[in-house]
Amino acid sequence: MSIAHRKHPDPLRLAIETAREAGAAILEAARLPLDIRQKDRRADLVTSADRASEAIVIARIREAYPDAAILAEESGASPGSSDERWIIDPLDGTTNFAHGYPIYCVSIAYERAGELLAGAIYAPALDECFAAERGGGATLNGKPIRVSTIDDLGDAMVCTGFHPADYARNGAHFGAISQVAQAVRRDGSAALDLAYVACGRFDGFWEFDLHAWDVAAGTLIVREAGGRVTQLGGAAAAVDASSILATNGRIHTALDDELERAGK
């Protein structure tokens, strides 16, 4: 199947260029006094940079793919007349961004007939752009990337994320995996956590209750880098699933089993 659509620009290129442009706008917004607001929860923030980034991404996508549906974190879902959908997190890791911690990114994915076909994750503070096209492999700043080859959970560095409001469940998982993995991190940007699995910095990542915009691009990038993505418990991954487990493939079952044990 050809990824490029008859009458539209190449989705991978559009995702990369748009993520880079929106990322530059985030850095620009950070130079001005930031308008930081709390959404429904203490740790759920939105800033002027989230809004500036989303406006750019939606404008570029509307211009190039006027018929496609769009799902974007800050403005929600807008239907389209084709079977295509763009899934956008304009700034993943907003709390990090608000504190000047450089682990944040723009995440853009392109889906056709429910299948993820292209995605880009750009971390502007680090100038790192992760990207993938279905069947075409994954890249970091244009160079091919692969998942790690670590096959023992005891040698693995894995990552997770959670809302403080859900600490009871996630705290138990975090504690349990800390006992069996070499290290556990909690970096604050699900999209970058997935990108870091794809390039071998992390050997695995799990999280509950994420949204499609957090995981869509990262899921494709991990798979194209040779990794495995499922729900916890092994069910097929879905962008709207209530959990995600992404690994280099080699530690997948071991990590899943330990998480299951910890959840009992």
Residue placing its CB nearer to Ca ion in the complex, 198 or 217: 217
Binding to ligand IPD by residue 161, rule CB under 6 A?
Answer: yes
Of residues 74, 102, 98, the one with CA closest to residue 88: 74
Which of 73, 133, 193, 207 is close enough to bind Ca ion by CB under 5 A? 73
Out of 116, 132, 190, 232, point to the residue binding ligand IPD (CB under 6 A).
Answer: 190
**Number of Cβ atoms within 10 Å of the Cβ of 152:** 12
> With binding defined as CB under 6 A, does residue 216 bind ligand IPD?
no
- Contact with Ca ion (CB under 5 A): which of 92, 111, 203, 258? 92
The residue within the footprint of ligand IPD, chosen from 54, 89, 111, 224 (CB under 6 A), is 89
Given the rule CB under 6 A, which of 5-13, 148-156, 207-215, 251-259 is the region that contacts ligand IPD? 207-215
Q: At what angle do helices 252-263 and 167-180 cross, to 10 degrees?
A: 130
Tokens of 137: 């492999």
Q: Which does 161 bind (CB under 5 to 8 A by kind): Ca ion, ligand IPD, none?
A: ligand IPD
CB of 79 to ligand IPD, least distance (A): 23
Q: Rounded to the nearest whole angstrom, what is the least distance from the CB of residue 208 to ligand IPD in the complex? A: 9
In whole angstroms, the minimum distance from the beta carbon of 113 to Ca ion comes to 25
Closer of 134 and 161 to ligand IPD (Cβ): 161
Q: Segment 17-76, which members bind ligand IPD (CB under 6 A)? A: none
Q: How far apart are CA 52 and CA 240, in angstroms?
A: 25
Using the minimum distance from each CB to Ca ion, give the nearer residue, 61 or 153.
61
**Parallel, antiparallel, or unpaired for β 69-72 and 45-47?**
unpaired
**Residue reference for tokens 């023992």:** 152
CB of 113 to ligand IPD, least distance (A): 26
Task: Say if CB 221 and CB 191 are below 8 A apart.
Answer: no
Which CA distances in Å does 199 have to 4, 144, 214? 25, 9, 18
Binding interface with ligand IPD (CB under 6 A)? 89, 92-94, 161-163, 188-190, 207, 210, 214
Binding interface with Ca ion (CB under 5 A)? 73, 89, 91-92, 214
